Homo-oligomer: A and B are copies of this chain.
Amino acid sequence: MSKTLLATPEDAEQAFYEAFNRGDLDALMSVWSEDDDPVCIHPGGSRFTGLAAIRESWKQLFETGMKFRVRTSNVVRAQSALLAVHSLLQHVHVEGDDTLAPPLITTNVYVRGASGWQLMMHHTSPSPDASGLLTQESPRVVH
A residues near B, CB below 8 A?
36-37, 39, 41-50, 53, 56-58, 60-61, 74, 76, 78-85, 87, 89, 92, 105, 107, 109, 111, 120-121, 123-128, 132-133, 135-137, 139-143
Contact = CB atoms under 8 A, between A and B. Distances in A.
A139 B45 contact: yes
Interface of A is mostly: mixed
Nearest to A53: B136
B126 A44 contact: yes
Contacts of A36: 78
A123 B43 contact: no
Contacts of A92: 143
A125 to B, nearest CB: 3
